[in-house]
Structure 1
Amino acid sequence: DFAVRLLRDRPRWLADAGTPGGLTAVAATTVLGTRFSALGWQTLAAALLALAFALWPWLLVLVVRNSRRPMPGAVFLCCVATEGLAVLGASLAKARTVPWLAHTALVFFWLGLALYLLALSRFGLREVLEGHGDQWVAGGALAISALAGAKLIAAGSAGPYLWNDDDSGVLRTVTLGLFVLDLCWYAVLLVGEFVRPRLHYDVRRWSTVFPLGMTAAATLSIAVSLHMPELDVLGQVLLWVAAAAWLAVGAGAVA
């Protein structure tokens, strides 16, 4: 739909591209590419990485230029899109044993964290109680950041020398810290849903499903990469929670 609008309605495309939601084009492309990489289709995954990388700077500049305070949870998509590049880059680096790609992914990992802090400074905290679903991206951005950290750790342990012991230690510490912060956001946002229930359907509720699923994926990936099998059960539980949320939102969409 994003590409079709570019061809058929350029003014509308430019207007949409200047909103945080425009970065979903990058995020979705990297998620799809990561899935293809997991299936062994590395050439297609690499093509999607190139496409996402080409879109990323232009959309990011438009979003940052047009952002104001306070912003809804979609503002964290600047982090999500950037960390998506890190996840896909690290996945390809592991699959094809390409050190430079892992190092590039590491740059995007740290850049994504910087963009998270920028987004946090513009995020309206009242969205926790008043948001229509996209406030959950505040936690989802940390989840995909933790996933990127886990993928980078996995890339370093699967092939040529990438990180020394200090580098690996920093990555492990930061990844676990991001994971804990994500769970804290998860709890805060869940409390917000109980304090101020918003049961009516809103298309932005799909932005609730993504962070739930990403938290589950990050948990399962960390369990493997950091050799913490005790997290596997938590990851499975969170995966079922995400599936239930997907069904609930889907039911609301067709009701």
Structure 2
Amino acid sequence: MVIRRLPAGSFAFVMASGIVSTALAVVGWTVPSTVLLVISVIALVVLGALTVARVVLRRADVMEEARNPGRAFGFFTIVAALNVVGLRVYSPDAPGITIALAVLSVPLWLLCSYGVPANLMLRPRTDPVASDIDGSWFLWVVGTQSLATVTAVFAADPGNEELAAPAVALWGIGVLLYLMLATLVTLRLLTVPSRPDNFNPSYWIYMGATAITVLAGSTIVVLPADIPVVRATASVVSGLTYLLWAFGVWWVPLLVIFGLWRHVVHKVRMRYEAGLWSIVFPLGMYSVASTHFGLAAHLPLLVTIGEIDAGVAGVAWLAAAVAMVAAGVGRLRHGAPGRMVS
């Protein structure tokens, strides 16, 4: 049954498709960008319907995932997917769809932001939650910064200046969450015995979380300077945004080393796994964030890097999609039920 096998992080496919569509649109590749936009919208609608059905019909399965430290933060992909698609279709002349998706994401973000950690902290356990921390926890940051970005976009419209304050607040919450989670995740990497299965693609969200924080920050720094909260925080937001951009770049070689250690040194066979979309999304987000911040801060090198990375993200999306289709065909041939995209 499809809804039984649908994991919390299914919307990572929508996130990846939507942000790569945005990256390609920024560099002027209209046709592939439009194709990916259509795919992301269709996937958002289908997965949304399946998720509602799952909550209604398989509530026990949903609650079980919410109690699983390795999967619970996947629910934040719903928040991020709504806002990534909303940002892609945004137009100042017709903001209705973006507003609707953003409004829908707010209660989901509140539910996930308080429900998921509270459930993990307060539920009786025989083993520490920290032993199950992985890169998927950074989806908490991704979901928060997606909401910060869309709020800042609305704040730029005349008459919506009051939205600048919550946009900056959400950005700040996302930054502090990132610092907290980066500490916890890095400590786990340094204290838990290294096994190939530990270094899964979810660790790329480590970089993806910095990238979307940079995008949110670059959206805030271009707000009108006469808005009080912008005037009070502009230098902090701009400075931290650049530092986080640099830190995200620094992480890329280490993430590549993780992959080589897993697949070359330990010879783990490379095959399709749903976590591949956790690699595609950071690449697309890094492209969009670099371009936007480069333009906002007048740093041409960042714009060039973002434009180059748009092609890399497009190729990565295509490779992951081909692998997903091939894996799906293989499962059908062998009669294996498999799992849905996550």
TM-score of the two chains, using structure 1 as the length reference:
0.90
The 2-side partners of 1:58 and 1:127 are apart by 33
The 2-side partners of 1:169 and 1:51 are apart by 32
Aligned to 1:69: 130
The 2-side partners of 1:195 and 1:97 are apart by 53
Against the structure 1 CA distance between its residues 128 and 237, is the aligned structure 2 distance closer, same or farther, given a 3 Å change threshold?
farther
Aligned to 1:220: 291
The 1-side partners of 2:242 and 2:195 are apart by 26
How far residue 102 of structure 1 moved from its aligned partner, in angstroms, is 1.2
- Which of structures 1 and 2 has the bigger CA Rg? 2
The 2-side partners of 1:226 and 1:156 are apart by 14
The correspondence of residues 88-99 of structure 1 with structure 2, limited to 5 A, is: 88-99=150-161
How far residue 51 of structure 1 moved from its aligned partner, in angstroms, is 1.2
Aligned to 1:234: 305
How far residue 96 of structure 1 moved from its aligned partner, in angstroms, is 4.4
Against the structure 1 CA distance between its residues 136 and 97, is the aligned structure 2 distance closer, same or farther, given a 3 Å change threshold?
farther
The 2-side partners of 1:90 and 1:130 are apart by 36
How far residue 30 of structure 1 moved from its aligned partner, in angstroms, is 1.3
The 2-side partners of 1:245 and 1:111 are apart by 30
The 2-side partners of 1:115 and 1:161 are apart by 25
| Residue ranges of structure 1 left out of the alignment (5+ in a row) | none
Against the structure 1 CA distance between its residues 237 and 128, is the aligned structure 2 distance closer, same or farther, given a 3 Å change threshold?
farther
Percent identical among aligned pairs is 28
Between 117-126 and 166-175, the greater mean CA deviation after superposition: 117-126
Please list the CA deviations of residues 193-234 of structure 1 after superposition, one character each: whole Å capped at 9, or x if unmatched: 233325221111111111111111100111111122222211
Against the structure 1 CA distance between its residues 221 and 128, is the aligned structure 2 distance closer, same or farther, given a 3 Å change threshold?
farther
Between 112-121 and 235-244, the greater mean CA deviation after superposition: 112-121
The 2-side partners of 1:46 and 1:203 are apart by 29
Q: Which amino acid aligns with 2:137?
A: V
The 2-side partners of 1:231 and 1:53 are apart by 31
The correspondence of residues 98-109 of structure 1 with structure 2, limited to 5 A, is: 98-109=160-171
How many residue pairs were aligned?
Answer: 253
The 2-side partners of 1:163 and 1:39 are apart by 21
| Residue ranges of structure 2 left out of the alignment (5+ in a row) | 1-49, 122-128, 327-342
Determine if the alignment matches structure 1 residue 202 to structure 2 residue 269: no
The 2-side partners of 1:140 and 1:52 are apart by 19
* TM-align CA RMSD: 2.2
Please list the CA deviations of residues 75-96 of structure 1 after superposition, one character each: whole Å capped at 9, or x if unmatched: 1111111111101100111134
Determine if the alignment matches structure 1 residue 133 to structure 2 residue 194: no
Q: Which amino acid aligns with 2:246?
A: V
TM-score of the two chains, using structure 2 as the length reference:
0.68
Against the structure 1 CA distance between its residues 129 and 117, is the aligned structure 2 distance closer, same or farther, given a 3 Å change threshold?
farther
Between 42-51 and 193-202, the greater mean CA deviation after superposition: 193-202
Q: Which amino acid aligns with 2:157?
A: A
Q: Does the 8 Å CA contact 1:99/1:162 hold for their aligned counterparts?
A: no
Q: Which amino acid aligns with 1:101?
A: L
The correspondence of residues 1-255 of structure 1 with structure 2, limited to 5 A, is: 1-18=50-67, 19-38=72-91, 40-65=93-118, 66=120, 68-70=129-131, 71-123=133-185, 124-125=188-189, 126=194, 130-156=198-224, 162-164=229-231, 167-197=233-263, 199-255=270-326
Q: Which amino acid aligns with 1:252?
A: A
Against the structure 1 CA distance between its residues 128 and 162, is the aligned structure 2 distance closer, same or farther, given a 3 Å change threshold?
farther
How far residue 44 of structure 1 moved from its aligned partner, in angstroms, is 2.2
Between 62-71 and 140-149, the greater mean CA deviation after superposition: 62-71
Q: Does the 8 Å CA contact 2:178/2:209 hold for their aligned counterparts?
A: yes
Q: Which amino acid aligns with 2:130?
A: R
How far residue 249 of structure 1 moved from its aligned partner, in angstroms, is 1.2
